[in-house]
Chains A and B, each alone.
Chain A
Amino acid sequence: MAAISQSDHSQSDHSQSDYSEAGRPETGGPLDASVRVDLYRMMVLIRTYEERIRQEYHADKTPGFDIGAGKIPGEMHLAAGQEPVAAGVCPHLRPSDALTATHRPHHLAIAHGVDLAKMTAEIFGRQGGLGHGRGGHMHLFDPAVHFSCSGIVAEGLPPALGQAFAFRHRGTDSVAVAVTGEGGANQGAFHESLNLASLWRLPVVFVIEDNEWGISVSRRASTSVEDNSLRAAANAMPGVRIEDNDVEAVYRAARTAVERARAGHGPSLIEVHTLRLWGHFEGDPQTYRPDLATVEERDPIPSYRRLLVEAGVLDEAGVERIAEEAATKVERAVEFALASPEPDPSTATAYAFE
């Protein structure tokens, strides 16, 4: 169902036999029904969450649009359309595995099991949030599941190397997943990180979310290669590109990459051609975007729902139940956030140092 292109590259000396094979996308029969339902369930939870945050974000920014006003102030980068990346990668991770996300982190946080209530309270800038209101939506840290994110493009990758280094030093088989956008693949941090992770054979999985847009600049206008997975070859690691925002293809590719990292064979790169369903940030007019008219029809969730219903894996009752479960979880998280107090201004200087 998905077009998968693979970069087949020559090997350097130090990374012998295993990487070209490990980089080959998995084929084979359909995934188990329960896995497919779980993938759908996670995508729905993420979408429900992002829709609710969007609603809360805009609820009290009028008249006009004042970015700093309202229950949720500041920039807001929502991940609607990119659910397949998080839903496909994270089932292979344990709470002991690390994940570093980007300025657009909610889908990955949810799928990796970040505490939804505390995360929501952090987004609302409340004392009960993950960072007691010090971080905000681009700076979510949940050490219980080794989750972090960074608002600086591609700069979340280097710390993931260190987490992977520490896991290996401790003799565990934990891995670190390092996520960036396709715009981040043009950053020095990306190239340095790929080289070092490969050189030291660190248990890292690099994931590029190619949503085609670095704010308003398209991948074609910013990137010398057609396909960022080609850049894996320059660092002697497998690189796979997944087209069509296909959650099952992401699931299979991530399984291979995570297993490879756990087995001590080093890093891999997965690029997912995904979709930014909404603007770069809330309030982005997207006038630069010629594909706006077709965005809705490329929404990955309705198409996957149809596929599962047609395959007999899900029925309408199941679809309904999943939607209700998601709504309940999100409602509880928002209730927790709104019940949490605002941080005390007299504590504004706390936490700069241990």
Chain B
Amino acid sequence: MTVVEEPAAKASPPPPRRLTMAKAMVEGIAAEMERDPSVFYMGEDVGAYGGIFSSTTGLLERFGPERVRDTPISETAFMGLATGAAVEGMRPIVELMFADFFGVCMDQIYNHMAKIHFESGGNVKVPVVLTSAVGGGYSDGAQHSQCLWGTFAHLPGMKVVIPSTPADAKGLMISAIRDDNPVIYLFHKGAMGLAWMAKTRRALGDVPSESYETPIGKAAVARPGRDVTVVTVSLSVHYALDVADELASEGIDVEVLDLRSLVPLDRDAIVESVSRTGRLVVVDEDYRSFGMSAEVMATVAERDPSLLTVAPVRVAVPDVPIPYARALEQAVLPTPERIRAAVRQVMG
């Protein structure tokens, strides 16, 4: 990460704190709202409630209802409002409560927010940050559990960032707000560290106090390893790291590459890692076909298929809607068990 602002008149920055991803995300938003009066946040239940998934906790109290705005349940209207305000020089952050809800406002997202810069020949900028909750694992059914990042990434004109750590949640938020393009910022409910949902220990992490940008389009090696590259994103990073820790005791050294951004995609980082390990597993909580997992594999195949010493394996949601019953849902999600089996498979 790049530290761009350091507290003045201090010899060294204050030590990092352990924060949940939700708190780190809010800290990034608050820092930018403090710095730039053109930043505002709107969406459903982002005011007094503080965001259904704690994406805005405390912001209303701190910045008031003019800048932290509850909207009617009118996603088309407020998504378009964000675009129009951005065109006029503001920096809106607009929350779509669940990514699954894009169906009621996708025209404003992909036909307007994402295309105006292009259609105008670069004459009109649209610096919107669209935040949205993704992911399953808690039996919320087929309309409230999807990741869908592949869909946003497929359509041109939007950057897509997906933090998996509290530090990146803050840094990517700051980068997204400062970016002059539309940025889709997707946060996994299971990685937010919510008190009311099962969480991994990795939802809590060190977060620097000062403001900093996490570069958009740069993957991070979450764990270096020699034997196999696991390319993944979001909550699956946590699971991949858990699996890597376990397999280390068997002498399998797993490298975990956290993409952090799907657009732009850090293709160099993927190829570089696979060129060292020769083995590739892609873990994607989105649907299997026509998505991120295929894109990662195509990246390697296009650069140099001979880098792979064994056929790559992907762990993704099979092409069915997310089931409700717990056993069924766990059967389709990329669980640690499925990741472990995939790693063993490429290891032979």
Contacts and interface: CB of A to CB of B under 8 A. Distances in A.
A159 B123 contact: no
A246 B314 CA distance: 65
Contacts of B90: 162, 165-166, 169
B120 A195 contact: no
Contacts of A161: 77, 80-81, 84
Contacts of B116: 141, 148
B82 to A, nearest CB: 6
B127 to A, nearest CB: 8
A157 interface: yes
A192 interface: yes
Interface in A129-146: 129-136, 139, 141, 143, 146
Interface in A154-204: 155, 157-167, 169-170, 176, 188-189, 192-193, 195-196, 199
Interface stretch (B106-114, B229-237, B270-278, B333-341): B106-114
A196 B88 contact: no
Contacts of B82: 162
B87 interface: yes
Contact of A139 (B86, B119, B125): B119
Interface in B54-107: 66, 71-72, 74, 76-90, 92, 104, 107
Q: Residue among A129, A143, A157, A165 with the most chain B CB within 10 A?
A: A165
Given A195-B74, A353-B181, A354-B181, A162 B84 contact: yes
Contacts of B120: 130-131, 134-135, 139, 141, 143, 351
A311 interface: no
Contact of B80 (A136, A189, A195, A353): A189
Given A162-B85, A162-B92, A196-B71, A155 B80 contact: yes
B348 interface: no
Nearest to A193: B77
A1 interface: no
Interface residues of B, number: 44
Given A130-B121, A159-B84, A196 B74 contact: yes
A170 B90 CA distance: 9
Given A141-B124, A169-B90, A189 B76 contact: yes
B87 A148 contact: yes
B116 to A, nearest CB: 7
B81 A158 contact: yes
A150 B116 CA distance: 9
B121 A162 contact: no
Interface in A310-354: 350-354
B77 A143 contact: no
B119 A141 contact: yes
A152 interface: yes
B206 interface: no
Contacts of A134: 118-121
Interface in B18-52: 38, 40
A158 B122 CA distance: 21
Nearest to A136: B119
A150 B111 contact: yes
B76 A350 contact: no
A159 B88 CA distance: 10
Interface of B: 38, 40, 66, 71-72, 74, 76-90, 92, 104, 107-108, 111-112, 115-125, 156-157, 159, 179-181
19 contacts: A130-B121, A131-B123, A134-B119, A141-B123, A152-B112, A155-B76, A155-B80, A158-B84, A161-B80, A163-B84, A166-B90, A176-B84, A189-B80, A192-B72, A196-B74, A199-B72, A352-B157, A354-B179, A354-B180
> Which 6 residue pairs of A and B lie closest in terms of their CB atoms, listed nearest first?
A158-B80, A162-B84, A132-B121, A166-B88, A159-B84, A192-B77
Interface of A: 98, 100, 129-136, 139, 141, 143, 146, 148, 150, 152, 155, 157-167, 169-170, 176, 188-189, 192-193, 195-196, 199, 350-354
